Amino acid sequence: MSEPSLTCDALLRRATVAIAGDSPRLDAELLLSHVTGLSRTSFRAWPDRLLTASEARCFEALVGQRASGHPVAHLLGEQEFWSLPLKVNAATLIPRPDTECLVEAALGLDLPADACVVDLGTGTGAIALALASEKPQWQVFACDAVPSAVELAAENARRLDLPLTVMVSHWFDSLPSRRFDLIVSNPPYIACDDHHLSEGDVRFEPASALVAGEDGLDDIRVIAAASPQWLNPGGWLVVEHGYDQGVGVRELFRAAGLVAVETRRDYGDRDRLTLGRWPG
């Protein structure tokens, strides 16, 4: 006689109760799909499908970690961004959907066909790889101050067979001497005393990828001030930032001499990124 507690439906019901957050059912289905190799659709089509005792134990262990707050992306070892499956780990920020707005903005700029681009603080390589996937003729570079992040971005590039040159550099410090048509970055932009640092997934992400001084703008100050030395005439700087930092970031861009400065909104209609052009 089959064990009813080992059906997909029973396991998912228990997991949904155990997992806190905004999407417990989705989280549970993603974890079960990871364990079984089955699609999420199959759990609805065949709710009475039985799992083995080994699969159930593995699933419930993952559910326990998720209930403790561990990000789903870390448990799966992967996160999709711009339809690209990216390997992730605890050394980098988990790519967020709203960062795709930065990719959209960059792709919409009037740039040379063979544009030279750099992604500062690349992490998983998400932004750089998204751009490389859409613009194979661009020369795309990426850097990060954390060697393990550079290794991860390079691994993602290899897995996706996308051309990307990745190097260790703290912002511009160790980049080769050249100018770029586009500089993009999703730098740390959370204030050191922000309460969000003790909530949700960010508790398990590196502080170095999140925190930037008392007002969250320390790293953007560095990037904006230095960008004219690295941009070609007519080149663009595009930076992601917090929902309440648009005014401050625009001031930093204009102080650096950038023109056509503009803040754009994310999918939730919140200020999310600012761009500006170097007149040269």
Q: Are residues 31 and 143 in the same domain?
A: no
Which residues on neighbouring strands pair with residue 190, listed in sequence order?
211
Predicted local distance difference test score (pLDDT) of residue 248: 94
For residue 73, is it within any domain? Answer: no
For residue 143, is it within any domain? Answer: yes
For residue 195, is it within any domain? Answer: yes
- What's the length of the chain? 280
The number of folded domains in the chain is 2
> What does 186-227 look like in DSSP terms, one character per residue?
----B-TT-GGGGSGGGGGS-GGGTB-SSSS-HHHHHHHHHG
Predicted local distance difference test score (pLDDT) of residue 199: 58
Closest CA to 145 of 187, 204, 182: 187
Q: Are residues 46 and 143 in the same domain?
A: no
Q: Are residues 136 and 59 in the same domain?
A: no
pLDDT tens per residue across all 280 residues of the chain: 345 578 999 999 999 999 977 889 999 999 999 999 888 888 888 888 888 899 999 999 999 999 888 888 888 889 999 999 999 988 788 898 899 999 999 999 999 999 999 999 999 999 999 999 999 999 999 999 999 999 999 999 999 999 999 999 999 999 988 999 999 999 977 766 655 555 566 655 555 555 556 777 889 999 999 999 999 999 999 999 999 999 999 999 999 999 999 999 999 999 999 999 999 7
d(C-alpha 135, C-alpha 153), whole Å: 18
Can you say whether the dihedral through the CA atoms of 208, 263, 231, 257 is positive or negative? Answer: negative
Q: Are residues 126 and 261 in the same domain?
A: yes
Q: Are residues 41 and 97 in the same domain?
A: no
Q: Are residues 50 and 169 in the same domain?
A: no
Q: How many CA atoms lie within 13 A of 222 on its CB side?
A: 15
Q: Are residues 171 and 242 in the same domain?
A: yes
Q: What is the CATH number of the domain that holds 179?
A: 3.40.50.150
For residue 114, is it within any domain? Answer: yes
Q: Are residues 101 and 237 in the same domain?
A: yes
Secondary structure (3-state) at 274:
strand
Please state, as a whole number, how many other Cβ atoms lie within 10 Å of the Cβ of residue 4: 10
Q: What is the CATH number of the domain that holds 45?
A: 1.10.8.10
Note down the domain range covering 117.
Answer: 82-277
Please state, as a whole number, how many other Cβ atoms lie within 10 Å of the Cβ of residue 54: 9
Q: Are residues 138 and 55 in the same domain?
A: no
Q: Are residues 175 and 217 in the same domain?
A: yes
